[in-house]
Chains A and B, each alone.
Chain A
Amino acid sequence: MKAGLTVSQLVIKYDDVTAVDHVSFSAQPGRVTVILGPNGAGKTSTIEACEGFIAPSSGSIQVLGLDPQLQRKQLNQRMGIMLQDGGIYPSSRVGELVQQYCALYGKRVDSRSLIARVGLQSVASSTYRRLSGGEKQRLSLALALAAQPEIIFLDEPTSGIDVNGRDLVRLIIRELRDSGCCVIVATHELDEAERIADDVLIFHRGNVVASGTLNQLRSGREEIRFRSTSHIDLHSLSTTLGLPVEQTRQHEFTIAGTSDARVIVQLTDWAKANNVDVGDIGAGSQRLDDVFRRLTAESAS
């Protein structure tokens, strides 16, 4: 299959600072590729280079087979973008703005249907400055959809959106994927990535430290997770089980390397014997946030 996006040995430098350091990856049409990473990892710089806003210091980018610097005009016809910070004048009215973008792309997209699709009918006559954070995000998404894009870049699409709004954005992302669009999402929200991603790229300090499908990234990393509000003697528990135990968050612990039910029995026996409360026990593949934490820690060391 021809890639929607191919990035080869991309380097982006701002004066002496290297924001993106020899990054290579590809993204396919009909799949959602999530670029994950903490702030400053190089996600937005990479996306902006793909959109044609930043000229790479070296390396090459092909978006739908086009060079974003040299063939920007052709690319703008086929690409939808959602900026991290709006790109909308505060006094612009929702209805008029969507109408303007539909006219600019000229793809015969009905602006009223588009407003309904992102759930903004009730605020169609409001100005941008009066919208909530979630409504602003959905308006920005609507402007990207006006392009009827073959490739769409969404920078933090669910940031600041309430639960219902998130469901709607996820539904639209799935619809785009199912229609064959190449969907690229940059986010630092691991839960969100876990819900929408087909493929994941993990950025850290300007490098891709891992890439693959969600299952590939999590495979071979079984674990048992549990919660406890008591003080846990990690050394004692680890010795009893013969497995490494670590605290991942406040009141949250993981036993790495197994999802065996017999270990769960050993855990509950140990808890009873030591008068420790243990609950919410779960077993299975490592969660994406744990994968992310592990990979970025490995990269840092």
Chain B
Amino acid sequence: MRLLRTQIACELKVLARNGEQLLLILGIPLLLLSFFSNVDILPTAGQTSVNFLLPGIIALAIMSTAMVSLGIATGFERSYQVLKRLGATPLGVGRLVLAKAISVFVVEVAQLLLLVGLAKIFGANLNAVNIGKLVIALVLGTLAFSGIGLSLAGRLRGEVNLAAQNALYLLLLLIGGIVFPLQNLPTPLHWVARVAPSGALADVMRDAFSATSIHGVSSLVVLLCWAVSAQLAAVKLFRWN
């Protein structure tokens, strides 16, 4: 337990010191929620702006933390041989992975609290929130995106991995129904978005917050498939050194 605590503290300290990562995991989600909740220029599928945006922005926050932040940090740690060095301490590989997983969940809970708190300030109605569905969405989304992030981090060089994670983040943000409804996308892109992990997570998250899911169970199945396949891919593709 002592080793795990030490490593979690270290992971969080490194994250807190990294300005780019903080911008990604907190700055961008909070900015998007604040701006589009108060500047009514996007279609919101008949809901108030803040009520429409909140689930999608939480999905975005999960993607930022579990995929981009974890993926970039792990990719650089791999390049700098930090993982190799830590693997030769009593911490071991198992505890290192667990420490990273717990750190991601700690950050996600902090993101969730901050985003929900801000949404409340902007007048969001949170009476219909289903905590069970929210936890399922959080867990499946984290598994799916961490699997994708670690698959890239395990194979690409540090700088290439950085570019790839950021490009994928932008792409999944645009086609994920996060800041505007999926049905507003052109038909071919709509189908791509339905099977994209960001689209599925945003839709499942909407179901958890306000029962306004567009594709319901099919989004949950898509997200489950991503969670399983991305983790299997990470196990297969990840290289420690």
Contacts and interface: CB of A to CB of B under 8 A. Distances in A.
A51 interface: yes
B164 to A, nearest CB: 20
A77 interface: yes
Interface stretch (B52-60, B74-82, B144-152, B217-225): B74-82
B2 A106 contact: yes
A6 interface: no
B193 to A, nearest CB: 36
A143 interface: yes
B77 A96 contact: no
Contact of A91 (B17, B85, B90): B17
Contact of A81 (B82, B88, B91): B88
Contacts of A73: 90, 92
Contact of B90 (A85, A86, A89, A105): A105
Contacts of A81: 85, 88
A283 interface: no
Given A103-B2, A104-B3, A88 B80 contact: yes
A144 to B, nearest CB: 9
Interface centre among A83, A87, A90 (most CB of B within 10 A): A87
A236 interface: no
Contact-residue size bin, chain B (C-beta under 8 Å from the other chain) = 20 to 34
A91 B10 CA distance: 12
Nearest to A77: B90
Interface in A31-74: 51-53, 72-73
Interface of A: 51-53, 72-73, 76-77, 79, 81, 83, 85-92, 96, 100-101, 103-106, 143, 147
Given A86-B81, A103-B6, A105-B89, 8 more contacts: A76-B92, A86-B80, A88-B82, A89-B76, A89-B80, A96-B10, A100-B7, A104-B89
30 contacts: A53-B84, A53-B88, A76-B88, A76-B89, A76-B90, A76-B92, A81-B88, A83-B81, A83-B85, A86-B85, A87-B80, A87-B85, A87-B86, A88-B85, A89-B14, A89-B77, A89-B80, A89-B82, A91-B18, A92-B14, A100-B6, A100-B7, A100-B10, A101-B89, A103-B6, A104-B7, A104-B90, A105-B90, A106-B3, A147-B89
